[in-house]
Amino acid sequence: VIFVLILSSSAASKTPPVFPSTLAQLRRGAAGDGGPSLYTEKFCTQILDHFNYNPQSYRTFQQRYLVNDTHWGGAAAGSPIFVYTGNEGDIEWFAKNTGFMYEIAPIFKALIVFIEHRFYGKSIPYGGNRTVAYSNSSTLGYLTATQALADYATVILSLKKNLTSENSPVIVFGGSYGGMLAAWFRLKYPHVAAGALSSSAPILNFDNITSQFSFNDIVTQDFRSESENCYKVIKKSWQEIDDTAVKPGGLEILRKHFRICKNHISAASLHSWLSTALIYTAMTDYPTPSDFLAPLPAHPVKQMCEAIDDPTTGNSTFAKMYGAANVYYNYSGNATCFDLADDSDPHGVNGWYWQACTEMILITDGNREESIFTASNYSYNDRREYCKDKYGVEPRPNWAPTEFGAHNIKRALKNFGSSIIFFNGLRDPWSGGGVLKNLSESLVAIVAKEGAHHVDLRFSTKEDPKWLVDVRKRETEIISTWLSHYHSDI
């Protein structure tokens, strides 16, 4: 089951945008991801509120973390600890998809730790009762990035104490929202983490910093770079869907063309379904086959455009769009119909709605006239009304840049920040809000023209292109330098 959430389209709803991990299906032991033997599950007793001293703050919950010590050189040798700062979802999913950490662990004799983000997976406060934890803004108020970062510091320091590994350097890793957390963790807790690999982290994707059009400009360019006809077919499809929907029997025509299940269909939900496929395919336009969000072939944007440009579909826009959507939703060929009404949450990622209504106000909704989607402007009022209606809270769009620094990022970080790698692939729509230039000698931006969303963190394959091999090699060399400096300073 896949969450269908609108990021942009002519039928845009007031639903906040999400990171791709919220659409991911948890894979258990799938080929190529290493399977469940990659880690051992552990728990740490965590405090509910790190920043207050009232009685409620002292409540605790069990926070999950996953450990792999296969290659660890041990505390006596001061061998490093690689920590993944968990995203908005079940930590197992990230542990099974972040192959880079496992692949370089033998080089550095590193211990690997994946820490689950509070309010996700099994790390649920209030006795592990998700219903209670998610019940209102008073309980959800403890779901913040700053609390999560404090959790990670607490778990890491506790783990090091238990292992008597106080001299082991810690390097944090993260992709997407987890990449934001990794970078912020290095800035906020430099005494805990010696360095951070922040992959595809849109830490600048906030109001008055990154253009509202940046995200969908990149989606547009991804498809337009493959085929001008592909771009034009997609661009005109939105109006054709709307025109058909208002005709007598029009919704049934759309249902038949797109193989939609009988329970629900509307023009808005179809817009959302198609937009989601386009956006997430652009994000995961990897050079090799993947099943990060869904089973996909190599270069899936190209595959979508080839489906649209296929002459056997004739002049039918709907047939062409169905062929494109099928690449994302049904590459395995198992689907019989598509359910546009499914809003289930099988992997416990709905907490992101709260985060997107409070501090994670990431601006992605704007569309220029030449956008692949219908021209539109971002509306903060829409977001505010949605959040007030759903949670009774008003977003704080300026808080994350205030708390972590985002305005004039070079000036903000060059005097005190160090030892962070910012990776971005320019085919990833989130890259528009990423750090794309070096900020200092040790705040390094690695930019891959053909790269997609945290492609560098994936498991490597024999088919990886040279540029990707070179990216991982450079990241490994930089991490090696950090560790050498760490031990030379002791």
Report the residue count for the chain: 490
Amino acid at 390: K
Mapped onto helix, strand or coil, the DSSP state of residue 343 is coil
Q: Angle CA(179)–CA(183)–CA(185) in degrees, nearest 5?
A: 110
Choosing from 151, 428, 456, 464, which is the catalytic residue? 428
Helices then strands, each counted (H, E), the chain: 17, 8
C-beta separation of 27 from 33 below 8 A:
yes
C-beta separation of 271 from 238 below 8 A:
yes
Lookup: tokens for 378 = 């971002």
What is the rounded distance in angstroms from the CA atom of residue 27 to the CA atom of residue 35? Answer: 9
Is 453 noted as a catalytic residue in this protein? yes
Lookup: tokens for 260 = 């939609």
Choosing from 9, 176, 200, 290, which is the catalytic residue? 176
Which helix (H) or strand (E) segment holds residue 380: the answer is helix 380-391
Lookup: tokens for 69 = 């010590």
> Could you tell me the strand order of the sheet in which 420-425 lies?
40-47, 60-68, 111-115, 81-85, 170-175, 195-199, 420-425, 443-448
Q: Quick count: other Cβ atoms within 10 Å of Cβ 52?
A: 10
Q: What φ, ψ does residue 172 adopt, rounded to 5°?
A: -100, 145
Q: Quick count: other Cβ atoms within 10 Å of Cβ 37?
A: 9
Choosing from 117, 347, 453, 454, which is the catalytic residue? 453
Is 176 noted as a catalytic residue in this protein? yes
Q: In the 8-state DSSP scheme, what is residue 426? A: T
User: Across 19-162, where does the E strand assignment appear?
Assistant: 40-47, 60-68, 81-85, 111-115
C-beta separation of 43 from 153 below 8 A:
no
What is the rounded distance in angstroms from the CA atom of residue 121 to the CA atom of residue 148? Answer: 14
State how far Cα 297 lies from the chain centre: 20
Sign of CA dihedral 202, 466, 91, 482: negative
Lookup: tokens for 68 = 């792999």
State how far Cα 69 lies from the chain centre: 26
Beta bridge partners of 68: 112
Q: Which residues are catalytic?
A: 176, 428, 453
